[in-house]
């Protein structure tokens, strides 16, 4: 055996078994596996050959890279074939429908996604998207005020709604026999909203009061979002800043509603114990009766959101007990990215900030003990920009030291890239999350709804595992260098009012040395 093989056999004993076979003495094997050159390496997983190559691989690193890549690819293949798979079609009025048959429990999830959010509001951002979402929960023409919730409650269903920058969703989960009721009520919400001045003003008060209570972190995130997307609709805060929402009038709410709540501006996702045929039939009977809005414009996202200098937001608040760090980078989204870049960012952020083995955790929590927790994520399902987020809670570190350590970790990846072990681990974690989410109906439904609403296809969604497994170390290094650019970032700090109580260190440490 060549030394590289021996090393790998030894180091990975228990995980990989390496067997050498002289094909000249085993002609049957030679024929069965069509071996024409030597040496040929075949990697088997659960008895099935998952990769092969002929020649080369005398370097240990190359060999390991090949093994890891092949194993991840084998997993991705398996993940992609995991049921349930979706079926998509479109009604005559333009409503896009996605059905995911999933017979594991006698229930269904029903989600309507409107391609409208805070970024579609009139210039300046009035908060009308979210305001409207809250109002529609209350009032509909056929369904009297409050009846929607009462009906769902009597039937034992769950329902929720939310409005983000690009999308507004309404979601119900209910016994399968009640799917028709849910569709009737949701179709009613699409066309028959009726608002009185009185309801609008009482809901305005509720929202104004909620905003007064909003915690300082929510305020920080809001300011950061405005800072990172200046002069772009994404700079319209999802939770309006002071002074905005109280100005939303009934007329403005109705104007937004009539423009965007239409079948040709919506996606319907139904998952659970149903067939596509059943859903099609029910959808035609309910949503199918609603006329398309002929005046629907293409969505305007005026400028590419590219701030050119690093932004900074600092808040002090008496309620803050520790210093909280947050950084956003404006990066490509699944919609705006060149092929493979969004997936590379997904893996990159996972390596940087996902879990206790991540680069940032190892450096700032374990080695330098600057922060108590650190994490991050990549938000890639927006139309015009994605965001990479990193966040930490200080332990003893001063803000400047924490920022310097974070920047150091990022710089190291830009310069030196990531290891094969990190790459394989991160990919596997992402693929595993895909499988875990597949077992959860709400997440499964959301996977399709959010993505189709920004223009992704069912095929793109279902080939995501393969795209992730195709990410290379080189892709990641490039993504880090090109996109984690401080000039396209905003750094936020929430600090206590006085510096004394500023970190967990101020608290009593464990008293016993024996621990």
- Total residues at interface with other proteins (CB under 8 A): 66
Taking CB under 8 A as the criterion, the residue among 54, 314, 440, 460 binding other proteins is 440
Stretch that binds other proteins, among 1-9, 249-257, 292-300, 317-325 (CB under 8 A): 317-325
- Tell me: does residue 28 bind other proteins (CB under 8 A): no
- The two structure tokens encoding residue 485: 């650019």
What distance in Å separates the CA atoms of residue 207 and residue 209, rounded to the nearest whole number? Answer: 5
Q: Which residues on adjacent β-strands are paired with residue 146?
A: none
- Tell me: does residue 189 bind other proteins (CB under 8 A): no
- Site track 320-359 with other proteins (rule: CB under 8 A), x = hit: -xx--------------------------------xxx--
- Tell me: does residue 46 bind other proteins (CB under 8 A): yes
C-alpha pair distances (Å), 485 with each of 311, 380, 482: 12, 17, 7
User: Cα 191–196–200 angle (5° rounding)?
Assistant: 100
The distance of closest approach from Cβ of residue 357 to other proteins in the complex, given in angstroms and rounded to an integer, is 5
Nearest to 261 by CA among 235, 234, 287: 287
- Tell me: does residue 365 bind other proteins (CB under 8 A): yes
- Tell me: does residue 249 bind other proteins (CB under 8 A): no
Taking CB under 8 A as the criterion, the residue among 178, 286, 333, 381 binding other proteins is 178
Stretch that binds other proteins, among 82-90, 185-193, 458-466, 492-500 (CB under 8 A): 82-90
- Nearer to other proteins (CB atom), residue 155 or residue 401: 155
The distance of closest approach from Cβ of residue 401 to other proteins in the complex, given in angstroms and rounded to an integer, is 17
Q: Is 295 exposed, middle or buried (0-12, 13-18, 19+ CB in 10 A)?
A: exposed
Distance of CA 356 to the CA centre of its chain: 20
Stretch that binds other proteins, among 31-39, 125-133, 222-230, 502-510 (CB under 8 A): 502-510
The distance of closest approach from Cβ of residue 318 to other proteins in the complex, given in angstroms and rounded to an integer, is 9
What distance in Å separates the CA atoms of residue 210 and residue 339, rounded to the nearest whole number? Answer: 42
- Tell me: does residue 106 bind other proteins (CB under 8 A): yes
Euclidean distance between the first and final Cα of the chain, in Å?
48
- Tell me: does residue 42 bind other proteins (CB under 8 A): no
- Tell me: does residue 134 bind other proteins (CB under 8 A): no
Taking CB under 8 A as the criterion, the residue among 366, 411, 459, 499 binding other proteins is 366
Backbone angles phi, psi at 169, to 5 degrees: -120, 150
Three state DSSP letters for 252-315: HHHHHHHHHCCHHHEEEEEEECCCHHHHHHHHHHCHHHCCCCCCCCCCCCCCCCCCCCCEEEEE
- Tell me: does residue 146 bind other proteins (CB under 8 A): yes
Parallel, antiparallel or unpaired: strands 371-379 and 324-331: unpaired
Report DSSP state, residue 415.
H
- The two structure tokens encoding residue 408: 């150091």
Q: Which residues contact 294 (CB under 8 A, 6 or more apart)?
A: none
- Nearer to other proteins (CB atom), residue 351 or residue 454: 351
- The two structure tokens encoding residue 6: 């021996």
- Tell me: does residue 47 bind other proteins (CB under 8 A): no
The distance of closest approach from Cβ of residue 110 to other proteins in the complex, given in angstroms and rounded to an integer, is 13
- Tell me: does residue 78 bind other proteins (CB under 8 A): yes
Maximum Cα interatomic distance, the chain, rounded to a whole number of Å: 89
- Tell me: does residue 149 bind other proteins (CB under 8 A): yes
| Binding region for other proteins (CB under 8 A) | 45-46, 75, 78, 82-84, 104-107, 146, 149-150, 153-158, 173-175, 178, 206, 212-213, 272, 319, 321-322, 355-357, 362, 365-366, 372-373, 393, 395, 424-425, 428-429, 431-433, 435-436, 438-443, 504, 507-515
């Amino acid at each position: 055996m060549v030394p590289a093989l021996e090393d790998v056999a030894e180091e990975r004993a228990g995980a990989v078994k390496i067997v050498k076979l002289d094909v000249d003495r085993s002609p049957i094997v030679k024929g069965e596996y069509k071996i024409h050159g030597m040496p040929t390496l075949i990697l088997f997983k659960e008895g099935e050959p998952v990769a092969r190559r002929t020649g080369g691989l005398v370097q240990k690193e190359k060999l390991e890279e090949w093994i890891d890549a092949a194993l991840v690819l084998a997993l991705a293949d398996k993940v992609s074939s995991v049921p349930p798979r979706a079926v998509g079609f479109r009604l005559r009025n333009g409503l896009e429908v996605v059905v995911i048959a999933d017979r594991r429990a006698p229930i269904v999830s029903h989600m309507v996604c409107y391609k409208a959010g805070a970024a579609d509001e009139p210039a300046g951002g009035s908060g009308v998207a979210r305001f409207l979402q809250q109002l529609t929960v209350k009032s509909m023409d056929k369904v009297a005020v409050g009846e929607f919730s009462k009906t769902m409650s009597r039937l034992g269903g769950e329902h929720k709604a939310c409005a983000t920058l690009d999308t507004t969703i309404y979601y119900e989960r209910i016994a399968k026999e009640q799917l028709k009721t849910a569709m009737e009520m949701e179709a009613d919400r699409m066309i028959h909203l009726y608002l009185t001045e009185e309801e609008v003003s009482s809901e305005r008060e509720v929202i104004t009061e909620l905003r007064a209570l909003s915690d300082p972190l929510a305020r920080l995130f809001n300011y950061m979002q405005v800072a990172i997307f200046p002069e772009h609709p994404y700079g319209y805060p999802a939770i309006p800043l002071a002074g905005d929402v109280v100005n939303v009038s009934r007329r403005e709410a109705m104007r937004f509603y009539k423009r965007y709540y239409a079948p040709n501006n919506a996606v319907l996702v139904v998952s659970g114990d149903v067939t596509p045929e059943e859903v099609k039939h029910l959808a035609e009977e309910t949503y199918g009766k609603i006329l398309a809005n002929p005046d629907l414009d293409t969505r305007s996202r005026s400028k590419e959101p590219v701030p050119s200098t690093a932004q900074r937001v600092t808040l002090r608040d008496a309620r803050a007990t520790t210093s909280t760090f947050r950084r956003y980078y404006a990066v490509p989204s699944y919609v705006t990215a060149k092929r493979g870049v969004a997936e590379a960012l997904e893996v990159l952020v996972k390596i940087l900030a996902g879990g206790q083995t991540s680069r940032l955790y190892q450096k700032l929590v374990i080695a330098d003990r600057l922060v108590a927790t650190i994490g991050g994520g990549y938000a890639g399902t927006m139309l015009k920009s994605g965001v990479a987020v990193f966040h930490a809670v200080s332990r003893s570190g001063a803000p400047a030291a924490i920022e310097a350590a974070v920047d150091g970790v990022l710089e190291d990846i830009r310069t030196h890239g990531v290891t094969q072990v990190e790459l394989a681990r991160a990919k596997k974690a992402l693929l595993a999350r895909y499988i875990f989410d597949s077992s959860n109906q709400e997440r499964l439904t959301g996977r399709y709804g959010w993505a189709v609403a920004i223009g992704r296809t069912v095929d793109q969604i279902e080939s995501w595992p393969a795209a992730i497994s195709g990410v290379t170390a080189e892709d990641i290094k490039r993504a880090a260098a090109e996109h984690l650019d401080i000039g396209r970032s905003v750094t936020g700090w929430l600090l206590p009012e006085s510096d004394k109580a500023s970190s967990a260190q101020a608290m009593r440490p464990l008293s016993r040395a024996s621990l």
